[in-house]
Structure 1
Amino acid sequence: MTHLHTQDGTISLEQLPMSVLTASSLADTLAKNNRFAGRTPEPWSVAAHSVVVSRLCSDPEEKAWGLLHDAHEAFIGDIITPALEWIGSHTDYRHTIVNATKRAKLSLDRQIRAAWQVDRNCGPDEVKLFDWVAYQAELSVFFGIAPERDTHGHIKRAVNLIVELQDEGDWTFYRRLWAEEALHLAQLGLLTLPKTET
């Protein structure tokens, strides 16, 4: 068993307890995890990124997975692509490292989908697209890197969302924002908020 020490006690990554899968628990952790290994001019959290991706999705059912698509990072952090490439460049087993990381994320994703009752078959295409769009917008807003071609205006829309959200406050704002977005999607019947046993 792989154990992780948390403020709620020690947990197993193979069998996450419902207590760490609730909206408040995920929101708290994702709001403290920063994108780009914390190298943005000001903190920009995984929680904020996930809200942007969710809001960009046009299919209502995909909005739920848009919000949760990086929730596995509440348990293993934001393992950025440059870090994976750097680690992989120091071994003959680069593909093994990349594949093991992908499989670990998928294992956590399955647990999260089950807890939140989000359809396993929904969302890979639109969520994947808007995750990339949000990334392009983040490069533009935080690093001044011109985004790739934006034929449908998605990146411009994402930039506007980021600019609107980034001036709102500290990490506690993003914690509240993510949790409120989850509640909103639950009220629309697009996901079920996990509850701890009483």
Structure 2
Amino acid sequence: MTWMPSCNGLPIELATPSALQVDFAEIAHALSHLNRSSGNAMTPVSVGLHTLIGLDLCPTAAVRAHWLLHDCHEVRLGDVTSPMKEATRWIAVDLFGPDVADRLDDVRRELEARHDAVIYAAAGLSRPDALTAQAVKLVDLRALATERRDFYRRGPAARPWAIDAMAPPIQPGPKVWRWLPPAEVTERLIAAFRTHLPALQRGRRAS
């Protein structure tokens, strides 16, 4: 079985996704219920809330459009945390060697890329160029720093986060965020999709 039911009950193909199965209202709903960090914040931080936090930090309209889509594949594939990815690779290297670990990484990236491709197509966007991708990555890091300040307990200094070692230092955004109910996150995301995604600006329905 390589499909999953969406929140409206319709099937979504996972191995061979299609732009015809992309429903941005459905994506907004799922993002607002999918928690980051495997739920290990003091209050839940959904991927949808993360998207809203980052949207507030985007420097241009072009970056906003690409930012809105950067995690959308997670509504089909789940939010696999960065530490989990690193742990999986560590075990793959330990058991089978780096070549097998590289192939597993290739499969994961290809699966994400297939879903990104159809989501971007449905949004009427081309994939980001190098500069836009770099800007989206910086927004992602600043959103993470903001979430750590506002939603997470500080751990031991001997276990710094990856953002602590970056130069220049990654700064959180000026706005302090609090938990938002999923329904409000969904509503805000749908409004952002309609504002920033070309296909929706041209009349494609969010749902």
Matches within 5 A, 1:49-60: 49-60=50-61
Structure 2 residues without counterparts, runs of 5 or longer: 155-159
Superposition deviation, residue 90 in structure 1: 2.5
Q: Helix, strand or coil: the match of 2:11?
A: strand
Cα root mean square deviation, aligned: 2.7
Identify the residue that residue 101 of structure 2 maps to in structure 1: 94
Identify the residue that residue 5 of structure 2 maps to in structure 1: 5
Identify the residue that residue 33 of structure 1 maps to in structure 2: 34
* TM-score (ref. length: structure 1): 0.81
- 1:110 and 2:117 aligned: yes
Answer whether contact 2:145 2:171 (CA < 8 A) is retained: yes
Partners of 1:185 and 1:196 lie apart in 2 by: 12
Q: Helix, strand or coil: the match of 2:172?
A: helix
Partners of 2:149 and 2:166 lie apart in 1 by: 12
Answer whether contact 1:51 1:66 (CA < 8 A) is retained: no
Identify the residue that residue 155 of structure 1 maps to in structure 2: 171
Answer whether contact 1:150 1:156 (CA < 8 A) is retained: no
Identify the residue that residue 175 of structure 1 maps to in structure 2: 186
Computing the radius of gyration over CA atoms, which structure comes out larger, 1 or 2?
A: 2
Structure 1 residues without counterparts, runs of 5 or longer: none
Q: Helix, strand or coil: the match of 1:11?
A: strand
Partners of 2:27 and 2:112 lie apart in 1 by: 15
Q: Helix, strand or coil: the match of 2:91?
A: coil
Superposition deviation, residue 139 in structure 1: 2.0
Partners of 2:49 and 2:186 lie apart in 1 by: 8
Identify the residue that residue 157 of structure 2 maps to in structure 1: none
Answer whether contact 1:31 1:47 (CA < 8 A) is retained: yes
* TM-score (ref. length: structure 2): 0.78
Partners of 1:51 and 1:182 lie apart in 2 by: 11
